[in-house]
Amino acid sequence: MRALFLALLLRDLRLAARRRLDAMLPLVFFVVAVSLFPLGVGPETQTLRQIAPGVVWVCALLATMLSVQQVYAGDQADGSLEQLLLAPQPAIVVAAAKSLAHWLVNGAPLVLAAPVVGLLFDLSPAALGALVISLLLGTPVLSLLGGLGAALTLGLRSAGMLLILIVLPLTMPVLIFGAGAVVAVEAGQSPAGHYSLLGALLIATLIGAPLATAAALRISTE
């Protein structure tokens, strides 16, 4: 089971390394989209600090949605998905490996870029820390839910739009608690409760999403 997981993970990372431009597009979108807000809203630091958590989290969510559409589409188009589903190991291994690869390529760079874009909004060091921690806990949930949406819409017409419509409502709790953690720190409160809820969401998604994704993949390839 571990061999398939590692083989698929390493293959996807290798493919991302060889398509660096494609892999960087969600990060570029994230940085550009976040950067537009200070330009559009104006240099009022109090306003920027207030909107920063929501803006950064919404942009991270949209950047993830952009990249998640390709999680299974390429494998389905070239026949690799059939082979993966025929592996001796259950399809849940495929779903878990693909989601981890997606997070490492697309989610982790957002987490790393968050302190830099946070500076555009004049966030305090404590708020920047909360932003990074909340993204660290929340972006894997987005990758897992995005993988589920990608599997559910595989091969459908308008799959990209359908995926967004299916996944966005599911990500609302992550968005609320993720942005809420930063808001709490800015207000001088403890973000521990938000972290706990994000952690609980991550655990629940880690358990449920790969199972559901595996079932969706089987249905999509019928």
Q: Which is nearer to another protein, 19 or 190 (CB)?
A: 19
x/- binding map, residues 131-170, to another protein, per CB under 8 A? ----------------------------------------
Distance between CA atoms of residues 168 and 64, nearest Å: 11
Query: CA angle at residue 185 from 179 to 189, to 5 degrees?
Result: 115
x/- binding map, residues 8-47, to another protein, per CB under 8 A? x--x--xx--xx----------------------------
| Residue 142 host element (H or E) | helix 125-152
**Which residue from 35, 45, 83, 124 is in contact with another protein, where contact means CB under 8 A?**
83
Spacing of C-alpha 140 from chain mean position? 6
Are the C-beta atoms of 98 and 91 separated by less than 8 Å? no
Distance between CA atoms of residues 154 and 56, nearest Å: 29
Q: Considering the complex, what minimum distance in angstroms separates the CB of residue 215 from another protein? A: 13
| The dihedral sign for the CA sequence 99, 104, 106, 108 | positive
Candidate segments 7-15, 39-47, 162-170, 206-214, binder of another protein by CB under 8 A: 7-15
Spacing of C-alpha 161 from chain mean position? 17
**Which residue from 39, 86, 157, 188 is in contact with another protein, where contact means CB under 8 A?**
86
Q: Could you list the residues that contact another protein (CB under 8 A)?
A: 3-4, 7-8, 11, 14-15, 18-19, 74, 77-80, 82-89, 221-222
